[in-house]
């Protein structure tokens, strides 16, 4: 079983949640009101932002500034 923090916005995306908690994925999701701009925290070095591929052209302006901001919060390599 893998445990991850997910934002309230992510929990409301039912299709994603249903897929993640299946037996194949074996995830336990702990809800947080906000994760400061990301949808899921995997570990201290890794975060996920979900967006719909179909909506990507429309969300580009909102998503573009978020990505560089978040890249500084999470390291690109793991430190033992």
Is 79 inside a domain boundary? Answer: no
What pLDDT score was predicted for residue 15?
Answer: 86
DSSP H or E segment with residue 71: helix 56-73
* 68: containing domain: 2-73
Number of domains within the chain:
1
Is 23 inside a domain boundary? Answer: yes
Q: Using alpha carbons, list the distances in angstroms from residue 61 to 31, 56, 73.
A: 27, 9, 20
3-state secondary structure of 32: strand
Q: What is the pLDDT along the chain (80 residues), one digit of tens a residue?
A: 889 999 998 888 888 888 888 888 888 899 999 898 899 998 888 899 988 888 888 888 888 888 888 888 876 655 55
Is 78 inside a domain boundary? Answer: no
Is 80 inside a domain boundary? Answer: no
pTM for this one?
0.75
Q: What are phi and psi of 66, to 5 degrees?
A: -70, -40
3-state secondary structure of 42: strand
- What's the gap between Cα 37 and its chain centre? 9
Is 39 inside a domain boundary? Answer: yes
What pLDDT score was predicted for residue 78?
Answer: 55
3-state secondary structure of 80: coil
């Amino acid at each position: 079983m893998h445990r991850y923090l997910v934002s309230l916005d992510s929990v409301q995306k039912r299709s994603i949640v249903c897929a993640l908690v299946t037996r194949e994925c074996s995830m336990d999701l702990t809800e947080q009101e906000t994760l400061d701009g990301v949808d899921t925290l995997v570990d201290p070095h890794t975060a996920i932002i979900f967006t719909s591929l179909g909506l990507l052209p429309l969300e580009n302006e909102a998503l573009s500034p978020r990505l560089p901001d978040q890249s500084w919060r999470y390291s690109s390599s793991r430190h033992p």
